[in-house]
């Protein structure tokens, strides 16, 4: 039992929270393109992405794994995003820090989603059983490149202070 749930139930909760984090992350990124902070969607994204990492630490793991390393990195990145948005209010270079950290957190969620998909989905598992084969490497590379490009565009377009002046 994990938090009163069976291991399967807890896994389902963890995956559902992760999917909400990914979906809301894309909504938040879209808001960045319109220089709109989307406060409710942003709070959902940050909360569910933090919760994804936290619940990941609750699985019965006895050794330090790459998944734990990604979870720790994600928590640090999310702390920076929360500070930049809620404490420093995107002032000055904190806007850049927020965009970079929020989109890095979204990327890490996508990275883990792809890893888990190639481990658990039979069709994908057959394509890349060791996760070093071209289908896995190409998928991860395309997602990384796409996130970097979309992140640069978001950074260039996300100026919520200008939106307030023109409305």
Chain segment 67-83, per-residue pLDDT in tens: 999 999 999 999 999 99
Six-digit token pair at 2? 């994990």
Instruction: Say if 1 falls within a structural domain.
Output: no
Please indicate, yes or no, if residue 22 is contained in any of the structural domains.
Answer: yes
DSSP 5: B
Q: What is the pLDDT of residues 26-48, one digit of tens each?
A: 999 999 999 999 999 999 999 99
Provide the mean pLDDT of the chain: 95
Summarised one tens digit per residue, pLDDT across range 77-110 is 999 999 999 999 999 999 999 999 999 999 999 9
What is the number of structural domains in the chain? 1
Burial of 87 (0-12, 13-18, 19+ CB in 10 A): exposed
The residues that bridge with 5 in the sheet, in sequence order, are 2
* Positive or negative: CA dihedral 35, 106, 46, 22: positive
- In contact, 128 and 118? CB cutoff 8 Å: yes
The confidence score (pLDDT) of residue 61 equals 87
> pLDDT band for position 134 (50/70/90)?
very high
Quick one: which of 15, 47, 9 has its CA closest to 28?
47
Residue 108 maps to a domain: yes
The residue range of the domain holding 61 is 7-166
């Amino acid at each position: 039992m994990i938090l009163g749930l069976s291991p399967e139930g807890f896994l389902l909760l963890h995956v559902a929270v992760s999917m909400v984090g990914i979906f809301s992350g894309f909504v938040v990124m879209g808001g960045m393109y319109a220089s709109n902070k989307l406060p409710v969607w942003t709070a959902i994204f940050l909360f569910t992405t933090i919760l994804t990492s936290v619940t990941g630490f609750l699985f019965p793991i006895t050794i330090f794994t790459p998944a734990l390393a990604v979870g720790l990195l994600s928590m640090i990145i999310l702390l920076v995003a929360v500070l930049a948005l809620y404490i420093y209010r995107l002032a000055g270079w904190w806007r850049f820090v927020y965009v970079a950290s929020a989109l890095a957190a979204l990327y890490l969620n996508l990275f883990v989603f792809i890893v888990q998909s190639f481990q658990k989905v039979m069709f994908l598992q057959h394509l890349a059983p060791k996760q070093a084969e071209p289908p896995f490497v190409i998928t991860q590379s395309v997602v990384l490149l796409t996130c970097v490009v979309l992140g640069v565009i978001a950074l260039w377009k996300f100026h919520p202070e200008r939106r307030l002046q023109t409305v």
